[in-house]
Amino acid sequence: MRLLAALATLLFAVGFASGALAHAALISVEPASGSTLATAPEVVELRFNEPVTPGAIRLIDGAGRVRDDPRVSASGETISVAMPADLPEGTAVVSYRVVSQDGHPVVGSVMFSVGTPSETKPPASADHWLGALIWLARVGLYLGLFVGVGGVWFARWISRSLTGTTVPRAALAVGLPSAVVSLGALGLDLLGLPPAALATAAPWKVAVATSAGRAFLVAAAAMLFALLALRSAWSSRALAIIAMVGVGLSLAMSGHAATAPPQMIMRAAMFLHGLCVALWIGALAPLAALLSKPTPATLAVVSRFSGIATPAVGVLALTGLVLAIVQLEKASALVETRYGLILSIKLALVLLLLALAALNRFRLTPAFARDRGAQVILKRSILLECVIALAIFAVVAGWRFTPPPRTIVPETPLAIHIHSDKAMFQVLVSPGNVGKDDFVLQLMTGEGTPLAAKEVTLTLSLPERGIEPMERDASLGPDGYWHVRKVELPFAGRWRIRIEALVSDFEKVSLADEVEVPPP
């Protein structure tokens, strides 16, 4: 009986195991995978060697969106994926999961480009209106911080009266909404959303999560403190100090300069730089206002300001020099890069401002001390300083759009090292970002000697976007490395990379790892 039962089970198993079942294999794709087409195809046809049942078929279009509107129809060996009419230009991916007759899923991805492949298009964030909005809001923010907060501090600590605070008040009124707009625009820029999305929480949440977003919040808080400091209370002087510290903090928290190494020095430099700008520029408008209706106290105020302005300008120049040296790395970058050009223009304006300040300090202030009639010239000179300061803000706000030369590095390929007992694979992906990439594979044994292989294949998948494995054969170059050229990586994300090396007819070494492909 036992024997019979065992025999029966074996027969059962054999009956199961010997059915002539096969996995389906993809034979052809129309349009061919990797092709570039002038216009969007109406349909993508996947032909298999046997009838298949479509499982999940996903279409990700050239704009990186997952489409839910491709119509999938199957007839026998062919699966047709009808493309939506509004397929945008760029690289589209059709990721398929079909079920072969034996019930096994067969997966893979094919891709084609409409018009130009995705990486040659300008990035989606190049919305001109958004760029202009970000720039305008930045200028408004500088006005609020330097003219507004600086002006309030001047009123509380230098002039000790609220005379001439009309301009700082107006600057704060501009600066506060500018901080909010900056925050919202940052969120839109990060997510690539239209302005209508400001009604939703998403862009705000994203923006607040960044250091730049938090810097905007600190800036807004500084301006609020400055507004409070305008009310005459016992604490107004302390509030003005807090507001000034907030100005420095908001600048030191974020941005290219503050985050450059060595961070301790750079952040401190940025803090002092911002503080001194507010000290100096904030004083200009109230000074001009005071000078238009001079009182006997005005001379004392002007002298007090001169006393503090000179060291402030010194600190400003010194910290500016430190920041510029770190950011530019070499003097030629002043003219060779957009960042450097902006700095050059700023420096020219600053020199003009310094000349005017020197004129005020060493000629016009003493003249004013001797002769009250000199006030008109001094006032004009100060107004001119205001105009130049505004121009500097406008120029400096342009830095938002230019990376400093320090961060412009020649495109560094992604390097991955995969290691097991049997083998070590060194993989270089260049340029290492979204678009077409070249893979160089260096195969070594576990001991580090070259590993001879007959065939090498590279398999890539992006599970998080539903991109099923794409297989590419590598070719052995004269350099002894294996190459896979022009591999389309249509999306940023954590790609799974698997390399299989056929060492002998019967032996395959395969190693897998993940690589983070950064967004463009």
Partner 1 sequence: MSKRSCLILIAALAASPVAAHVSLETKQAIIGASYKAVFTVPHGCAGSPTVKIRVQIPEGVIAVKPMPKAGWIIDLVEGKYAGEYDYHGNKLSSGVKEVAWSGGKLPDKNYDEFIMHTVLTDRLKPNTTLYFPVVQECETGVSRWIEIPTEGAGHSHEGKSPAPGVKLLPKP
What does the alpha-carbon distance between residue 211 and residue 219 come to, in Å, rounded to a whole number? 12
Interacting span for partner 1 (CB under 8 A) from 9-17, 129-137, 156-164, 257-265 = 9-17
Closest-CA residue to 269 (of 277, 351, 239, 386) = 277
Interacting span for partner 1 (CB under 8 A) from 214-222, 385-393, 394-402, 499-507 = 499-507
Q: Is 5 in the site for partner 1 (CB under 8 A)?
A: yes
# residues near partner 1 by CB under 8 A = 30
Note if the bond before 294 is cis, omega within 30 degrees. no
Q: Is 358 in the site for partner 1 (CB under 8 A)?
A: no
CB 444 within 8 A of CB 427: no
CB 300 within 8 A of CB 365: no
Q: Which is closer to partner 1, CB of 21 or CB of 37?
A: 21
CB of 98 to partner 1, least distance (A): 14
Q: Which is closer to partner 1, CB of 49 or CB of 236?
A: 49
What does the alpha-carbon distance between residue 50 and residue 76 come to, in Å, rounded to a whole number? 7
Question: 237-252 as b/e, with b when 16 or more CB fall inside 10 Å?
Answer: eebbebbbbbbbbbbb
Residue count of the chain: 520
Q: Is 25 in the site for partner 1 (CB under 8 A)?
A: yes
Interacting span for partner 1 (CB under 8 A) from 12-20, 186-194, 249-257, 439-447 = 12-20
Tokens of residue 286, six digits: 């109230």
Q: Is 20 in the site for partner 1 (CB under 8 A)?
A: yes
Interacting span for partner 1 (CB under 8 A) from 19-27, 167-175, 336-344, 379-387 = 19-27
Q: Is 19 in the site for partner 1 (CB under 8 A)?
A: yes
Interacting span for partner 1 (CB under 8 A) from 14-22, 58-66, 187-195, 486-494 = 14-22
Cβ atoms within 10 Å of 473's Cβ, excluding its own? 10
Q: What is the H or E stretch that residue 297 is in?
A: helix 296-328
Tokens of residue 119, six digits: 């990486």
Q: Is 10 in the site for partner 1 (CB under 8 A)?
A: yes
Closest-CA residue to 208 (of 183, 185, 191, 188) = 183
Instruction: State the sign of the Cα–Cα–Cα–Cα dihedral 515, 516, 518, 519.
Output: positive
Q: Which residue in 69, 336, 464, 507 binds partner 1 (CB under 8 A)?
A: 507
CB of 73 to partner 1, least distance (A): 22
DSSP characters over 111-156:
EEEESS-GGGSPPTT--HHHHHHHHHHHHHHHIIIIIIIHHHHHHH
Q: Is 22 in the site for partner 1 (CB under 8 A)?
A: yes
Phi/psi for 143 (5° steps) reads -60, -50
Q: Is 99 in the site for partner 1 (CB under 8 A)?
A: no
Interacting span for partner 1 (CB under 8 A) from 97-105, 298-306, 355-363, 388-396 = 97-105
Q: Is 233 in the site for partner 1 (CB under 8 A)?
A: no
CB 439 within 8 A of CB 427: yes
Q: Which residue in 80, 91, 95, 100 binds partner 1 (CB under 8 A)?
A: 100
CB of 404 to partner 1, least distance (A): 46
What does the alpha-carbon distance between residue 181 and residue 143 come to, in Å, rounded to a whole number? 14
Q: Is 502 in the site for partner 1 (CB under 8 A)?
A: yes
Q: Which is closer to partner 1, CB of 234 or CB of 506?
A: 506
Q: What is the H or E stretch that residue 227 is in?
A: helix 211-230
Interacting span for partner 1 (CB under 8 A) from 283-291, 293-301, 373-381, 507-515 = 507-515
Tokens of residue 358, six digits: 């020197």
Q: Is 473 in the site for partner 1 (CB under 8 A)?
A: no
Binding mask 33-52 for partner 1 (x = CB under 8 A): ----------------xx--
Q: Is 401 in the site for partner 1 (CB under 8 A)?
A: no
SS3 314: helix
Give the position of tokens 């999961």: 97
CB of 414 to partner 1, least distance (A): 25
Interacting span for partner 1 (CB under 8 A) from 51-59, 302-310, 343-351, 500-508 = 500-508
Angle at 470 between CA 413 and CA 497, to 5 degrees: 45
Q: Which is closer to partner 1, CB of 16 or CB of 234?
A: 16
CB of 102 to partner 1, least distance (A): 5
Contacts to partner 1 from residues 360-399, by CB under 8 A: none
CB 255 within 8 A of CB 401: no
Residues interacting with partner 1, by CB under 8 A?
Answer: 2, 5-6, 9-10, 12-14, 16-23, 25, 27, 49-50, 100, 102-104, 502, 505-508, 510
